[in-house]
Every structure is written in C-alpha cells, then in structure tokens.
C-alpha cells in the first residue's frame, strides 16, 4: 500500500508544512493545538456544529484529497481511541442538568463514527465508511482494513486517526496519579493510500501487525521482522511510543536497546504528546523523514502506548 498524501493537525507545526520533522522539538507541557483556518476547508454551515476532533479530521482528510488531486476517495476509514469527547461530555452534562427535551446536536455527534461520517458528508462520498475503535491500536486496525480493501480492488482510500483532549482527561489523570510530565494532547493524521505506486507516492506501508495482550514484546518484534525478511540491523529508524519512557527520564525500554547502534531511535510520544491514536502521527513523521533523507529506507514503528497492546508498522521508502 502506497502513501499518496499525508496531513496532520497537532500541537506541532505539522499542517501544510513538509519537512516539519527537521525542526520540531519535544513538546512543552503548556503546548496548544495549532489551529489552521478551518473555514478554508469546511462550509460554514457544517463548521458551526463541529467540535475540535471533527474540524481537525475533516480538514486533514480534505487536505489529503487536495494533495492527491482526487475528488472522491474509494473509501473512508478512521481509527479513534476515545472518539468525540467534547460532544460526549456536552451531551452527558445536558443529560444530567436539563429537565425535559435534550438538545440533539451533541448527542448525534457524540458517537465515534461521526468523524468518518462528517468527512463523507463534507465531500458527498457514498463509499465504504468505517470506524475502528480499539484503544491505542485503533489506527493500526484502520490501516489493516484499508489494506484489505485495496486488495479487493478499491483504490485511493482516505485512512486516518484522530483523538481530542478535553480538560476532564487531566482531572482523570490526576486521580490515576499520571505523571505531570505526560502531555495529554489532541491530534489528527490522515493519509490517502493507493494500491499502485504513482508520481505522487511518498512511501510504502509494507506491513502492519497488532498484538493484543502482548506477552513477549521482543519475540513479537523478532517475528514481525522475520516475516518481512529483515534483520534489526537493516532498520534505519525506530519510532516507538512508551508511556513510561517520558522525556528526560533517561530510561529506555529494553526492547529498544536491542536495536543496532546505527538505527536512529526516537520516542514519538515526546514529540506529539499522548492521545490513543498518536501512532498515525508516527507514520506521517516517518514519511516526512524519508522525503527529507534518502538514507532512511526502512522505518519500524513500535506502538506501545498502552503496554498491553503492541502495534508494529513497517514503512519503506520507494527506493527500498
């Protein structure tokens, strides 16, 4: 599966900023979402009802279509860990405080599949429309779905992931004694993936694997590489997330230490913050690095944001 376009809206200057990977630094705790001019992408009539996650997702998806010069994708597939939190919170607050009729908008838009639905409505798409919500592996499952659809003859699929921060998450984090260094953020990364390579292709997704209730992470990585006839020494860059390896801690997880010293190793959660589908950002980061540096040919993304889940994604440059 080839990546034809990529777009990310996040707390970093990622949107419409090819080459962003060269300049971004680890996020500071007081970072804020960098908001593009949504009105350039979304009709005012639709925009007024949209929460943050919907605005980010529709804009990033439309940006992908624009980059690829495609009017209608063959399908729209979205992964989200927590879905439309802003509308869910609003609806539940209404539910608890209003006696009588409840306002319908936040209820309608509180469901996870609103994201893919709103993308579809905003472009008038009648194709396959699917939402995957599998905690921190939501995006990987969306990608697997996209790969299967491409195999069935569908083409030029919009696949992406989004999650949004609301203040309640910090309050819950405090109750759960989450370290204050952990940045809870919002982000949306979308891609247009195609079956065949074209002049617009940016990179190739060679393989994706998910492991739920992972027991031996090193063995899972070894097996994944073996299935792709790769040695650890052939991986040019390892992008990983580890909730417990927060910035400046000086700790690096065991499964990372086993990689060849020549491999560049980076915890992408330090760059983008914590949200359940942040592995989608890692793919965009990998694509951006591959575009910028022709020595990077093979990138392994290890999603271990939630330690019971493991997501493995292999990205290759077009020359690999």
Partner 1 sequence: MDTLKEDLKKHIIEELNLEDLQVSDIDDDALLFSTEGIGLDSIDALELIVLMEKYYGIQVTNPDEGKVAFLSINTMADYIEKRKA
Applying CB under 8 A, among 17, 31, 36, 105 the residue interacting with partner 1 is 105
Burial category of 231 from C-beta neighbours within 10 Å (exposed 0-12, middle 13-18, buried 19 and up): exposed
Tell me if 153 contacts partner 1 by CB under 8 A: no
CB nearer to partner 1: give 50 or 205. 50
Among 104, 218, 258, 307, binds partner 1 (CB under 8 A): 104
35 binds partner 1 (CB under 8 A): no
The residues, ordered by sequence, that sit 6+ positions from 66 with a Cβ below 8 Å of its Cβ are: none
Is residue 34 a contact residue for partner 1 (CB under 8 A)?
Answer: no
Closest to partner 1 by CB, 91 or 141: 91
Stretch that binds partner 1, among 25-33, 83-91, 101-109, 126-134 (CB under 8 A): 101-109
Site for partner 1 in 54-83 (CB under 8 A): none
User: What is the DSSP secondary-structure string of 89-138?
Assistant: HHHHHHHHH--SPPPHHHHHTTSTTHHHHHHHHHHT--SEEEEE--GGGH
Choose which of 108, 178, 217, 253 interacts with partner 1 (CB under 8 A). Answer: 108
CB of 117 to partner 1, least distance (A): 13
Bridge partner list, 188: 9, 162
3-state helix, strand, coil in the chain (%, to 5): 35, 20, 40
96 touches partner 1 by CB under 8 A: no
Give the residue, chosen from 98, 172, 252, 308, that forms a contact with partner 1 under the rule CB under 8 A. 98
Closer residue to partner 1 in complex, CB, 53/70:
53
The token duo for 175 is 């109750």
* Residue 56 or 146 having the CB closest to partner 1: 56
Q: From residue 58, give the alpha-carbon distance in Å to each of 42, 95, 101, 108, 160.
A: 7, 27, 30, 17, 10
- Residue 320 and residue 302: Cα distance in Å, rounded? 20
103 near partner 1, judged by CB under 8 A: yes
Q: How far apart are CA 192 and CA 72, in angstroms?
A: 11
- H-helix segments, the chain: 20-23, 44-47, 52-68, 85-97, 104-108, 114-123, 138-151, 167-175, 217-227, 254-257, 269-272, 279-292
Q: Which of 37, 45, 175, 215 binds partner 1 (CB under 8 A)?
A: 45
Tell whether residue 252 is a contact of partner 1 (CB under 8 A).
no
x/- string (CB under 8 A) for partner 1, residues 176-215?
----------------------------------------
Question: Which residues contact partner 1 (rule: CB under 8 A)?
Answer: 44-45, 47-49, 98, 100-105, 108
């Amino acid at each position: 599966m080839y990546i034809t376009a990529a777009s990310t809206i996040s707390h970093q200057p990622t949107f419409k900023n090819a080459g962003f990977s060269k300049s971004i630094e680890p996020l500071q705790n007081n970072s804020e979402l960098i908001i593009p001019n949504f009105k350039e992408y979304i009709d005012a009539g639709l925009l007024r009802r949209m929460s943050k996650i919907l605005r980010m997702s529709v804009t990033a998806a439309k940006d992908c279509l624009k980059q690829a010069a495609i009017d209608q994708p063959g399908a729209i597939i979205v992964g989200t860990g927590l879905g439309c939190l802003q509308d869910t919170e609003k609806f539940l607050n209404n539910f608890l405080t209003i006696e009588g009729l409840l306002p319908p908008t936040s209820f309608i838009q509180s469901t996870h599949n609103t994201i893919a639905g709103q993308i579809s409505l905003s472009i008038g798409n009648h194709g396959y429309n699917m939402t995957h919500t599998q905690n921190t592996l939501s995006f990987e499952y969306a990608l697997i779905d996209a790969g299967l659809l491409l195999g069935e003859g569908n083409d030029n699929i919009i696949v992406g992931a989004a999650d949004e921060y609301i203040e309640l998450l910090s309050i819950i984090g405090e109750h759960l004694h989450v370290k204050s260094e952990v940045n809870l953020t919002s982000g949306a990364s979308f891609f247009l993936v195609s079956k065949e390579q074209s002049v617009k292709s940016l990179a190739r997704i060679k393989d994706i694997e998910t492991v739920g209730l992972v027991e031996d992470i090193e063995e899972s990585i070894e097996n994944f590489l073996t299935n792709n006839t790769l040695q650890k020494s052939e991986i040019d860059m390892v992008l990983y997330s580890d909730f417990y390896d927060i910035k400046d801690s000086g700790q690096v997880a065991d499964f990372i230490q086993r990689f060849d010293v020549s491999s560049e190793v980076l915890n992408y959660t330090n760059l983008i913050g914590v949200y359940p589908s942040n592995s989608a950002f890692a793919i965009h980061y990998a694509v951006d690095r591959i575009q910028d540096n022709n020595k990077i040919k093979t990138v392994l993304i290890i999603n271990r944001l939630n330690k019971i889940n493991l997501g493995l994604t292999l990205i290759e440059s077009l020359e690999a």
